[in-house]
Structure 1
Amino acid sequence: MRKFIPFLVLNFFVLSSIAQTLTTREMDRINWMEFAEFVPEKIQTVLLPTGTLEPHGVINNGADNTAPFAMAKDIADELNALIAPTLNYGMTGSMANYPGAFEISEEAYSLFIRDILKGLARNGFKNIIILNGHGGGQTAVLQKVAGEIANELQVRTLVINWWSYASDVTLEVFKEDGGHAGLNETAYIQAIDPTLVHQDRYNSNQATAYPKDKSWSAVPFPSSIGLYQEGQGYPNFNQEQAEEYFQKVNKKVLALIEETIAKWDLAGL
């Protein structure tokens, strides 16, 4: 019997080592036993990508989902975070009438995101980071509900609109401002999956600058490409710029999350 002891001891350490290695950071690909081994004892942070389905010029209708999910996958290891399934449907707004778009009412979206955040808190996550890929009224709802959940359940929440937070990166890489489905968003998708970008379908007449002074509004918005500045943001860039933009945006977002968590910890919150 003794001759089997070294084997059993070795086998125990091998199995223990395997148990400590996370097989995936995606919550919908992990099983419940592995989840229990890591949350909340070893993992306290979760990344929740949110977006919608709406037109985006020459990139995919789900760009607002593709971008934050890819961002989450790129930074999850460094944050020691799990990635919650993407909330793919959102408050599309002025582009809801375009083909393939979906519009969720504010009431329904607010209730749904509230229950998602409550579920993440109930499962033991202390830091709930929302990587939001779609703006408009959705941003306000996310910020409101996330703030309420943080106070009610004593968790810590952070909502990030990646494209606006990284607007300085857009200027750095492209030397001009971007836009909805403009060069910044299109380049980010290009870096993720070039097959989602159909440059052959692009022409400059597809773009319209947003009115700075709010002197007019149109529903549906007349173009699926909305420029932040007149004459800037047309999706003209090369692959090298796309990849540089992707990495620099992710690095900036990662730094914000790390700094915020560190300050929460320092304050004892």
Structure 2
Amino acid sequence: MVHRLAAILFLAVLTLPAQSTRELNDLNWMEYRRLVPAQIQTVLLPTGTVEAHGVINNGADNTAPLALARAMAPKLNALVAPPLNYGVTGSLDGYAGTFQISEAAYRAFVTDIFTGLARNGFRNIIVINGHGGPQTAILNDIAEKVGREQRVRMLVSNWWAICSDVTLKVFGEDGGHAGWNETAFIQAIDEKLVHPELYSKELETPRPAAGTWAAYPFPTPVILYQPGQGSVRFDKAKASVYFQAVVERMADLVKGIIEKWDRAGLYQDVRSGALPPR
């Protein structure tokens, strides 16, 4: 009888439908109900904005974190949420094709997204942010509030800052906004989004030291972190190496933080899963 029951259970497991995708956008609600939270408790949310980026696409701050999240998801047993493609842009919003979302609107929308992910059963909500400036501070603030209210674990990560040592190792110098490192990252994802024929040194300005000067709009869309470092170049081999190194560093960071949360027993209560229909 025991052997027969075991055989029935084994056959039942074999007949379970395979996971069709890690994209939250593409999952059927019945697949989702089966996966979250019983099998998957982590979601990666790419956030960015649409703004001028030198000789790469205006949506580079969305292209980068989405590609990064997709590459990281299998390493973390995570799902990838649809990206939040508009953000709080800042001093580049005078450039053609650039969008600026007000802080009030952004805060309200992001709060509802974080809360929705929590209420739908995720324990670990990992923001893969592609755009810095005031947007980072806003995301950090909302993450802490939602984490406390919903009893979920929240992480906001800026990939280029976390991987600054990777930039130095691969390129031998610091990078910049739309500089060599970010251009290389996009080059590794999709070369069609990079336009070497449009490049000119005139597109670059070093970031001013604190308290020296400020300009609106910023005079160039390529902002170098250090004078004389990070000027745009187009090296396909280094671009590929850089992309893989960033993926590994980011996956290791998230994995390590989740392990520390688990060891500390933080918010370990089993979540209820997807909300019932209303």
Normalization by structure 1: what TM-score?
Answer: 0.94
Q: Does 1:118 align with 2:115?
A: yes
The Cα of 1:213 is off from its aligned counterpart by 2.9
Match for residue 80 of structure 1?
77
Gaps of 5+ in 1: 1-9
Q: Does 1:172 align with 2:142?
A: no
Match for residue 130 of structure 1?
127
The one-letter amino acid paired with 1:28 is: N
The Cα of 1:17 is off from its aligned counterpart by 3.1
Q: Does 1:212 align with 2:209?
A: yes
The one-letter amino acid paired with 1:77 is: P
Match for residue 232 of structure 2?
235
With over 3 angstroms needed to count, the CA separation of the structure-2 counterparts of 1:18 and 1:102, relative to structure 1, is farther
Question: Alignment partner for residue 155 of structure 1, among 144, 152, 170?
Answer: 152
With over 3 angstroms needed to count, the CA separation of the structure-2 counterparts of 1:195 and 1:18, relative to structure 1, is farther
2-side partners of 1:43 and 1:89: how far apart?
27
Q: Does 1:193 align with 2:190?
A: yes
The Cα of 1:237 is off from its aligned counterpart by 3.8
Q: Determine what percentage of the aligned residue pairs are the same residue.
A: 55
**For each residue in 1:20-60, what CA deviation from the matched residue of structure 2 results, as whole angstroms up to 9, or x when unmatched?**
52100001111101000000110000000000000000000
The Cα of 1:235 is off from its aligned counterpart by 1.2
Larger displacement relative to structure 2 (227-236 or 132-141):
227-236
- SS of the equivalent of 2:125 reads strand
Match for residue 247 of structure 2?
250
The Cα of 1:12 is off from its aligned counterpart by 9.5
- Please tell me whether the aligned partners of residues 196 and 234 of structure 2 are also in contact (alpha carbons under 8 angstroms): no
The Cα of 1:19 is off from its aligned counterpart by 2.8
Match for residue 36 of structure 1?
33
Higher relative contact order (CA 8 A, sep 6+): 2
- SS of the equivalent of 1:95 reads coil
The one-letter amino acid paired with 1:206 is: L
- SS of the equivalent of 2:244 reads helix
**For each residue in 1:146-167, what CA deviation from the matched residue of structure 2 results, as whole angstroms up to 9, or x when unmatched?**
0111111100000000001100
Match for residue 3 of structure 1?
none
**For each residue in 1:95-152, what CA deviation from the matched residue of structure 2 results, as whole angstroms up to 9, or x when unmatched?**
1111111100111101110000000000000000000000000000000000111111
2-side partners of 1:18 and 1:240: how far apart?
43
Count residues in correspondence: 260
The one-letter amino acid paired with 1:244 is: V
Match for residue 50 of structure 1?
47
Gaps of 5+ in 2: 1-6, 267-278
- SS of the equivalent of 2:43 reads strand
Normalization by structure 2: what TM-score?
Answer: 0.91
The one-letter amino acid paired with 1:115 is: D
Give the 4+ runs in structure 1 shifted more than 6 A: 10-15
2-side partners of 1:115 and 1:66: how far apart?
23
With over 3 angstroms needed to count, the CA separation of the structure-2 counterparts of 1:203 and 1:41, relative to structure 1, is same
